[in-house]
Amino acid sequence: MSVDFSGAWARLWAPQPVDLTAGQWVILLVLVLGLVLPRPVWRITGMYSTLVHELGHVISALFTGRFVTGLRLGWDHSGEVVSRGRGKTSVIISGIFGYPTPLLVSAALLWATASGYAGRALGIYALFFVLVLVFVRNWPAFVVCSASALIALGVVFFAPVSAYIYLALLLGGFLLCSGIRDYFKVLSVHTWRRRDIEQSDAYLIARATGTFATLWLLVIMVLGGAGIFLGVQSLLRLL
């Protein structure tokens, strides 16, 4: 099977207007909820949400001048990004962009789809997963990252243009719902599940900077709220 790069580029660059029926929207909604709500399914799909979370740490760390030495995932949905750098600012910025990242990526995918750029968004999306393989340091991270990149690249190069819209909406909807689910999780860690407080990014930032976890939890909540607001706005444009 040959890969037609020029043809794929042309398909990605061409605008893809969204004109779905009510039935198609219902199917997408059922698929998204089916990927997020059932616990047996979430054990698998939650790994993908964790990867996007950790990618937020990787990208924000790189933008603040930190040297990223590794990305690891656990089959229990745990994740770790190891980086080196100086200054509390880089610690704060690289720390807060974990939980908000699935919601912000969802907002970007939904905006791109609503604007007719689903193909371009998927191309960039796939490229990120290919590049992040450089930082992968264990098998769970390699498996999840490789699968994500292969699926996105497979759709980009071999699927019809109409599939771009469905995949972009499915990914956007999944990350929106999974991001909200993870926000409830981190809120529970700071309230009635404080035995797991060391898993919270807000706690880790506070410990590294000598500040209060509540402050950074509030910042994380505001960033996530912005992602939800922008994502919902794009969904309303699509409906």
The predicted structure's pLDDT at residue 94: 92
**pLDDT (tens digit per residue) in 121-172:** 888 888 888 888 899 999 999 999 999 888 887 887 777 778 889 999 999 9
Instruction: Decide which of 11 and 239 is more confident.
Output: 239
**pLDDT (tens digit per residue) in 5-14:** 666 667 777 7
The predicted structure's pLDDT at residue 189: 87
Residue 198's identity, in one-letter code, is E
What's the pTM? 0.92
Report d(CA 200, CA 215) in Å as an integer.
Answer: 13
Closest to 64 in 3D by CA, of 44, 87, 80, 41? 87
- Pair 49, 178: CB distance under 8 Å: yes
**pLDDT (tens digit per residue) in 112-130:** 999 999 888 888 888 888 8
Question: In the predicted model, what is the mean pLDDT of the chain?
Answer: 89
Count of all residues that appear for the chain in the document: 239
- Pair 230, 179: CB distance under 8 Å: no
